[in-house]
Amino acid sequence: MAKQPKRITAWTGDRDAAHSVEAAIALVKANAKAKFDETIEISVNLGVDPRHADQQVRGVVNLPSGTGRDVRVAVFAKDAKAAEATAAGAEHVGADDLYEKIAGGFMDFDRVIATPDMMALVGRLGKVLGPRGLMPNPKVGTVTPNVAQAVKDAKGGAVEFRVEKAGIVHAGIGKASFTDEALAINVKALIEALNRSKPSGAKGVFIKRVGLSSTMGPGFKVDISSIGA
């Protein structure tokens, strides 16, 4: 058997037990020993089958403590709306010119926002943006006439979530440098958003399992009763 790296053998904490959210956060942070500020990630197993249209789970949540990420935003807008997006802090703003850049391979952004009148143009980038989860969608507030607020939300802690084929939602909920309380607040905000997004076709237990981990560290189970799930 291959010898395990030292960082793995140095991991501490019971990975089989279900911990309160506060205890799980403390364990995750204690094991986040990389030389960079690791992202704290949450995995939520849902009682849904995403193959059915009435069991899709998708939405956006504004994390009260922010994400700790520097989110780069691209906005498709014209005239006054373009000016509003620029003033709000969007890194890339344009219409046909931005379309040409992205079609040519430019991908230096993390979120794409568009005004409704731009969607005919943006739709032609579906094969580029779609697989990366970047296609603007009115359900998560990225197709909107209020581009200034959308840009501020994206930069201030808005996180999109979408259930994967296996019925799991993954999301970053902060950084290892955050306080335990700040991370706990973000966890609970995401769980509340998931509960609000429960689809009509979901039967039985909706939130089945929750786990927390850091970028380079181990995962720990969370007692869902400790987060009101």
Class of residue 12 by CB neighbours under 10 A (exposed 0-12, middle 13-18, buried 19+): exposed
What is residue 4's predicted lDDT score, i.e. its pLDDT?
59
Of 86, 68, 76, 58, the residue nearest 160 (C-alpha): 58
Class of residue 47 by CB neighbours under 10 A (exposed 0-12, middle 13-18, buried 19+): middle
What is residue 229's predicted lDDT score, i.e. its pLDDT?
63
Of 11, 82, 23, 47, the residue nearest 204 (C-alpha): 47
What is residue 157's predicted lDDT score, i.e. its pLDDT?
83
Domains in the chain: boundaries: 12-65+156-224, 71-154
What percent helix, strand, coil does the chain show, rounded to 5? 40, 20, 40
- Which amino acid would we find at residue 125? L
Task: Return the CATH number of the domain spanning residue range 71-154.
Answer: 3.40.50.790
Q: What is the pLDDT along the chain (229 residues), one digit of tens a residue?
A: 456 566 666 678 888 899 999 999 999 999 998 899 999 999 999 999 999 999 999 888 999 999 888 899 999 999 999 999 999 999 999 999 999 999 999 999 999 999 999 999 999 999 999 999 899 999 888 999 999 999 998 888 888 899 999 999 999 999 999 999 999 999 999 999 999 999 988 888 999 999 999 999 999 999 999 987 6
The C-alpha atoms of residue 161 and residue 176 are separated, in whole angstroms, by 21
Task: Return the CATH number of the domain spanning residue range 12-65+156-224.
Answer: 3.30.190.20
What is residue 2's predicted lDDT score, i.e. its pLDDT?
54
* Helices 147-156 and 79-88, packing angle to 10 deg: 20
Cβ–Cβ under 8 Å, residues 46 and 208? yes
Q: Do domains 12-65+156-224 and 71-154 have the same CATH topology?
A: no
Q: Dihedral of CA 134/139/140/144: which sign? A: positive
